[in-house]
Amino acid sequence: MPNPNTISIGVIGVGHLGQHHARHLSQLSNINFIGVYDNNKHRCNEIAQKFSTTAFTDLPGIIDCADGLCVVTPTLSHAAVAAECIKSGKHVFIEKPITQSIEEADMLLALADKNKVSIQVGHIERLNPALLSLQKYNLNPKFIEVQRLAPYTTRGTDVPVVLDLMIHDIDIILSLVRSPVENILASGLSIITNSVDIAHARIRFENGTVASMLSSRIAKDKVRKVKVFQKDFYVTIDFLLGLTEIYRVQDAKNEDLEVLMAVPLDETDLNKQIVYEKPPIAEIDALKMELENFANVIRGNEKPIVDGSAGRAALEVATQIHDLIIEDLH
């Protein structure tokens, strides 16, 4: 007897990232992985055979058979492909960025509301284990510093570095700060491609928090680091190493924690301790967790980890940053 919780999901676009969607969906329980579709027929057939599923020959075919669809096409086609899915009453998981433009994002959000379906956006760094290890702490950032550097590859160069790399950090920052943006300063350069390859942005929020971001896709080595500062608290996160380190200032006390130093802050103050913590990092597969969440969203059991509105918010800030860079270059 079929399980009523089993839902049907397909993947549209099986390039570098789409094939990982296909692999996970082929392994998840209570999911009927119906198949894949890609404009590249050879690649479509190859991935379908690899994961023992169907290679659909056209977009309407896979849409008709699914309850939900992963849109893992190049960014330029996100809006058109997702719109076809939503118009057919299908839930969509769209890899970041949600679309190329705010106008396209607004169009998708309006369509989703009209057709009573969900949009989930693949801002996968929200589920980085090093970041998740901070969930038990009361974060109230006042300054955030981010570096995201990567060696040059041709993948992702259909969009500027702000939409390719920096948007990850914009989404993380917006999820941590939760305050409207007051102003943005930005600069950048085109080095190899015809688009912006390196960008720096400084965001000031209405609550006084400041965030500084540097993103480059022409670096020698990969770097993905975040530093968060607030009163009596400082944390460094290395997304690549899966390492989170916390430094807290507290009144001197006997506590089973590693004390780096005990110092008087002034003549009248009690001694303070600088305490070092390294919270445990859970071993999780972020993409698997995203797809499990997507399945449960379709079932009506959960809300998207990153919904369409959050994806739009990240895109709006990214677009403002990119526009400022282009204005500065001209």
- Check pLDDT > 80 for residue 43: yes
- Check pLDDT > 80 for residue 9: yes
- Check pLDDT > 90 for residue 222: yes
Mean pLDDT of 284-306: 97
In the structure, what pLDDT confidence band is assigned to residue 219 with cuts at 50, 70 and 90?
A: very high
Domain 126-283+317-329 has CATH 1.50.10.10: no
Question: Which pLDDT value is given to residue 269?
Answer: 56
- Check pLDDT > 70 for residue 126: yes
**Sign of the dihedral through C-alpha 84, 88, 94, 97:** positive
pTM of the model: 0.92
157 vs 110, residue with greater confidence = 110
Rounded to the nearest integer, the mean pLDDT of the chain is 92
Q: What is the dihedral of CA 293, 299, 304, 307, to 10 degrees?
A: 140
* Separation between Cα atoms, residue 316 and residue 329, nearest integer Å: 20
* Separation between Cα atoms, residue 9 and residue 79, nearest integer Å: 19
Question: Which pLDDT value is given to residue 158?
Answer: 75
> Do residues 46 and 310 touch, judged by C-beta distance below 8 A?
no
Question: Which pLDDT value is given to residue 2?
Answer: 43
Lowest mean pLDDT among 39-48, 139-148, 186-195, 284-293: 186-195
In the structure, what pLDDT confidence band is assigned to residue 156 with cuts at 50, 70 and 90?
A: low
CATH node for 7-122+286-304: 3.40.50.720
* Maximum average pLDDT range among 3-7, 210-214, 277-281: 210-214
β-bridge mates for residue 10, sequence order:
35, 69
- Check pLDDT > 90 for residue 268: no
Question: Which pLDDT value is given to residue 149?
Answer: 96
Mean pLDDT of 245-260: 71
- Check pLDDT > 70 for residue 265: no
Question: Which pLDDT value is given to residue 273?
Answer: 78
Using DSSP, state whether 216 is helix, strand or coil: strand
- Check pLDDT > 80 for residue 272: no
271 vs 71, residue with greater confidence = 71
- Check pLDDT > 80 for residue 251: no
Q: Where are the domains of the chain?
A: 7-122+286-304, 126-283+317-329
Question: Which pLDDT value is given to residue 256?
Answer: 55
Q: Which two tokens stand for residue 330?
A: 């001209």
Mean pLDDT of 242-247: 95
Tell me the percentage of the chain whose pLDDT exceeds 90. 84
Using N-to-C axis directions, what is the helix angle for 18-27 and 41-50, rounded to 10°?
A: 30
Question: What are the backbone dihedrals phi and psi of residue 229, each rounded to the nearest 5 degrees, phi first?
Answer: -120, 135
